[in-house]
Amino acid sequence: MARSSEPIFNVPPVVLGLSVAMALVHGMRAFLDKTSDLLALLWFAFIPARYDETVAVTVKFPGGLGADIWTFVTHAFLHADIMHLVGNLVWFLAFGSAVAWRFGAARFLAFFAATTAAGAAVFLVMHWGELIPVIGASGAISGMMAAACRFVFAEGGPLGLFGRNDPEAYKIPAVSLTSALKNKQVVTFLAIWFLFNLIFGISSLSSGFTDATVAWEAHVGGFLAGLLLFRFFDPVPRTMSGVPLAPTGEEEDH
């Protein structure tokens, strides 16, 4: 069934569902007192100190092994304030929708989890043992941006020089990572994105445990994961000179 050309009706159900979940979580936190909200952070925010045995001796984190695992993803549903939430949702609706129309719901959810976890992992390496709760869906959104670069700027893609806004525009064969990085539109987009994160990294400060941080390291981790993992999730075969190649999950990439 063809989708409406109106952008408001072009949001895939899986993206809409995740967006609503983020909004509901933020809304519920507004009704919590400070102690209860801190407990919610301890259960669901990503905290590097969880994984440092020397810290865990003095600080008891709830959830045990389960929380050690699920917080790699659940932190994406927590946001610092309404502006943080709205800003993330705008980017998520824009880039997440393009990727979701291409991947389908199941692959999209797996990709969302993978890029979110990758962002948390990079932050963990950079801030091992620190009592800084990381929150927000920026890692996943950065991954969506990276994935979108592989097809939205390509010829016939929704943002290409001769872009289209129809269902097939999201199903065009992806270009290789090497080819994508030769595209001036992609390079410009990446330059702006990395500059934004550089500024973000220089200006962002955290003054204590309750000041949950929006981490630029998680942005970079999610973005790199999106670039490198795209081919394993992409269900659209690539073509060369009109001859279909193997699905991107089975091909060599550069």
Question: Would you state the pLDDT for residue 101?
Answer: 92
Taking the mean position of all CA atoms in its chain, how far away is CA 148?
Answer: 11
8 A C-beta contact, residue 150 and residue 230: yes
Question: Would you state the pLDDT for residue 137?
Answer: 92
Tens of pLDDT, residue by residue over 146-166, are 998 888 776 666 654 444 566
Cβ-based burial of 27 (10 A; exposed 0-12, middle 13-18, buried ≥19)? exposed
Neighbours of 219 (CB within 10 A): 26
How far CA 246 is from CA of 153, 174, 202, 232, 250, in Å, comes to: 22, 12, 43, 12, 6
8 A C-beta contact, residue 137 and residue 115: no
Question: Would you state the pLDDT for residue 241?
Answer: 37
Integer Cα distance of 251 and 178 in angstroms: 14
Residues of the chain under the 50 pLDDT cut: 1-2, 4-9, 160-163, 205-211, 240-254
CB proximity list for 207: less than 8 A, separation 6 or greater: none
Query: pTM for the full model?
Result: 0.81
Question: Would you state the pLDDT for residue 164?
Answer: 52
How far CA 120 is from CA of 126, 143, 161, 185, 217, in Å, comes to: 10, 12, 35, 28, 8
Tokens of 133: 């709760």
Multiple choice CATH, 11-204+211-236, 1.10.10.10, 1.10.260.30, 1.20.1540.10, 3.40.50.10380 = 1.20.1540.10
Tokens of 16: 């809409």
